[in-house]
């Protein structure tokens, strides 16, 4: 009997802190950062709109030149997988940590970005960083001969579902 499973995570959110890069004893770089994602929902009991923020810790291997671009407040797209690991704390108790191991990270702009506005991701060409498992480099987007951004296809913020 063949079974299938999927472990895929896609996050679009804002960085909660500046990224930090460290190196393993064998010299492999590991960049860590946190991403805040939010949702808005209507409370069934009161009818009021409420906001909720979730924080995800992200690890990106072999991307030592990435940290200077990943600064607090910038909007990013992260694609990867969930990984849970266990460790013992200083009191000897077993603890568990679930993290996103990123395969791709794309800088979208937004808060803290060069554009400063909330729609900066649609007015600028994003920067993409691929992890070691990326099969082939993706070509950079170029504006069409008609001018304008490749992301400006008559879509406003009201058309985006998130």
Take residue 135 and report the two structure tokens written for it: 């099969």
Q: Are 91 and 80 a contacting pair, CB within 8 Å? A: no
DSSP H helical ranges for the chain: 120-123
Q: Are 107 and 74 a contacting pair, CB within 8 Å? A: yes
pLDDT digits (tens, 9 = 90+) for 125-142: 445 555 544 433 344 443
The backbone region for 47, taken as left when phi is positive above 0, alpha when psi lies in -120 to 50, beta otherwise, is: left
Structural domain boundaries in the chain: 9-134
pLDDT at 85 over 80: yes
Fold of 9-134: OB fold (Dihydrolipoamide Acetyltransferase, E2P) (2.40.50)
Take residue 155 and report the two structure tokens written for it: 């879509």
Q: Compute the distance between CA of residue 82 and CA of residue 85 in angstroms, rounded to an integer.
A: 10
CA 102 to chain centre: 8
pLDDT digits (tens, 9 = 90+) for 30-72: 999 999 999 999 999 999 999 999 999 999 999 888 889 999 9
pTM confidence score: 0.64
**Residue 104, strand partner residues:** 79, 130
Chain length of the chain: 162
In order of 44, 75, 134, the CA distances from 79 in angstroms are 32, 14, 11
Take residue 26 and report the two structure tokens written for it: 């064998």
pLDDT at 146 over 50: no
Across 18-22, 26-30, 36-40, 108-112, least confident range: 108-112
pLDDT band at 16 (very low <50, low <70, confident <90, very high): very high
pLDDT band at 3 (very low <50, low <70, confident <90, very high): confident
pLDDT at 6 over 50: yes
Residue 77: in which H helix or E strand, if any?
A: strand 75-88
Q: What is the pLDDT of residue 151?
A: 46
**97-119 residues labelled b (16+ CB within 10 A) or e (exposed):** eebbbbbbbbbbbbebbeeeeee
């Amino acid at each position: 009997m063949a079974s299938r499973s999927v472990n895929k995570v896609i996050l679009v959110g804002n960085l909660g802190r500046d990224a930090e890069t460290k190196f393993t004893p064998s010299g492999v770089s590991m960049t860590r950062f946190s991403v805040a994602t939010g949702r808005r929902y209507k409370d069934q009991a009161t009818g009021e709109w409420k906001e909720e923020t979730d924080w995800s810790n992200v690890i990106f291997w072999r991307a030592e030149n990435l940290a200077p671009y990943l600064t607090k407040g910038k909007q990013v797209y992260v694609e990867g997988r969930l990984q849970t690991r266990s460790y013992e704390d200083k009191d000897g108790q077993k603890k568990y940590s679930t993290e996103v191991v990123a395969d791709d990270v794309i800088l979208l702009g937004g808060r803290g970005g060069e554009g400063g506005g909330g729609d900066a991701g649609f007015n600028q060409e994003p920067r993409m960083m691929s992890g070691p498992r990326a099969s082939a480099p993706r070509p950079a987007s170029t504006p069409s001969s008609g001018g304008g951004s490749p992301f400006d296809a008559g879509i406003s913020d009201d058309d985006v579902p998130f």
